[in-house]
A and B are shown apart, each in its own frame.
Chain A
Amino acid sequence: MENQEMIQRYIYAVTQTLPAAEREDLGRELAAVIEDTLAGQGPEAAQDPAAVRQVLRDLGSPRLLAMKYRGREEEALIGQPHYNLYQIILRIVLWAAGGGLVLAQILTAVFEPQANLLSYTLESLFSIFNGLLVAFAITTLIFAVMYRKQVRFDEEDFLESLPELPAETQKRESPWELAAGIIFFVLFILAFAYSPRVNLPVLADGKWTSILNGELVGALAPLALAAGLLNLTSLIVNYAVGEVNTGAAILDLGANALGIIYAFSLLTKPEVLNPGFAAMLQGLTGLDAAGVSAGFQWLPLTVLAVIVVVLLFDSGQTIYGLIKAKSKA
């Protein structure tokens, strides 16, 4: 390669990823700088391929130089401000997802006895690995977006978010509450989106069955996944931000709204209970099918009412906290 061609290609490599408006100007400047540097090494340097290569090597890789020009040489996927929390949450998520997946695989084997246990075990291991990978990816993605969007920890208000002493009543969300929330939503996603047929398993008379209708839960799996992920994101963001702000409040309200929509979509359906579970109730109560249907129709609606009340209360708290924070500001 000719010296001039190498220089031109180097400049092109640096400038091609920069904004179009800057490319020509920066290209001219780099060309002048390289020419000056070569001239500074003696009259023959521009013709010496070794000298040209050395000058370009000294400038460094085009990719890194371009990042410096863009002011992004210290960019990261997650970044230091969030890294400690990321480690803690990732650990909780992976333990919860791993535990839940192992449990789901065991319950599936109990529900549907497998002909080839070895093959099922291998498939289960692969499935658990996949699930852990997805959990890792989603957690990392949430933190990457937080870093990108510059969701910040309010360092000025750190005195407000110091952990409470064990003897005192905990008013603010503690890391244990965060961990419990994460475990709950990871298990929710596993039960209602990943293993809808297993959903809520119960054991009676030595036999496992699911409480809810697997087909119905399966049909609503995408909504369950969206509600679970949004709640998980809201939980992490609200904990990370450590204060009430508009963005975090909107996320919390959206997560609650999606939770209510999901609960309505599932629990208002007449076929919400698993026929197998209904049969189990018949056996336990001595009622016939009509009696069970009449006697237990209140159950899903009661659960729905509890969910709605809890989520509306949480939303009310969020709105109240936001108004209070705004009025203080």
Chain B
Amino acid sequence: MTAEEQFLQNFQSELKRGALVLVTLSQLRQAQHGYQLVKTLSEAGLEVEGNTLYPLLRRLEEQGLLSSTWAITEEKPRKNYVLNPKGARMLTEMLAIWQASNHTIDQLLNEE
């Protein structure tokens, strides 16, 4: 990998890292289990490694933004995560920050 490719990869990783919590919370308005969420994000074009996402889900749960339940009615037990009221409020705030930042950055990038 050339230095330029490495630079671009680092840039992409940092962007992804910054947005991952927001994206994760946004996708958990509907309950999903960890692997399902990895697939959802992957199908949307955002490749996230399981060893990053699974610990993140638990941390967000510890921080009180997600709730979890074991779905024992399925053939295999799976732990589902879903946004709780506190997480929903936080998501709204985060989206506002994200959109404001995007707006500012877009303006700067589009300046002649």
Contact = CB atoms under 8 A, between A and B. Distances in A.
B51 A59 contact: yes
A29 B34 contact: yes
Interface of B: 33-36, 39, 49-52, 54-55, 58-59, 70, 76-79
Nearest to B63: A71
A60 B79 contact: no
A33 B34 contact: yes
Contacts of B39: 40
Interface string A51-64: 00000001110001
Contact of B79 (A29, A40, A58, A68): A29
Contacts of B35: 32-33, 36-37, 40
Instruction: Identify the 3 closest CB pairs spanning chains A and B, nearest first.
Output: A36-B35, A68-B55, A60-B51
A32 B58 contact: no
Nearest to A65: B51
Interface in A1-52: 25-26, 28-30, 32-33, 35-37, 40
Contacts of A37: 35, 50
Contacts of A35: 76
A184 interface: no
Interface string A295-322: 0000000000000000000000000000
A29 B54 contact: yes
A30 B51 CA distance: 10
B26 to A, nearest CB: 21
A156 B31 CA distance: 41
Contacts of A126: none
Contacts of B50: 33, 37, 58-59
Most buried by B among A30, A36, A59, A60: A36
A120 interface: no
A36 B33 contact: yes
Interface size bracket, A side: 10 to 19
Nearest to A70: B55
A7 to B, nearest CB: 14
Contacts of B49: 58
B55 A32 contact: no
Nearest to B49: A58
Contacts of B51: 58-60, 64-65, 68
B77 A33 contact: no
A33 B54 contact: yes
A68 B53 CA distance: 10
A221 B77 CA distance: 64
A156 B28 CA distance: 37
B100 to A, nearest CB: 25
A69 interface: yes
Given A32-B78, A33-B50, A64-B51, 10 more contacts: A25-B79, A26-B58, A29-B54, A32-B76, A32-B77, A33-B35, A40-B39, A68-B52, A68-B55, A71-B55
A27 to B, nearest CB: 11
A26 B70 CA distance: 12
A75 to B, nearest CB: 14
14 contacts: A29-B34, A32-B34, A32-B79, A33-B34, A33-B35, A35-B76, A37-B50, A64-B51, A65-B51, A65-B55, A69-B54, A69-B55, A71-B55, A71-B59
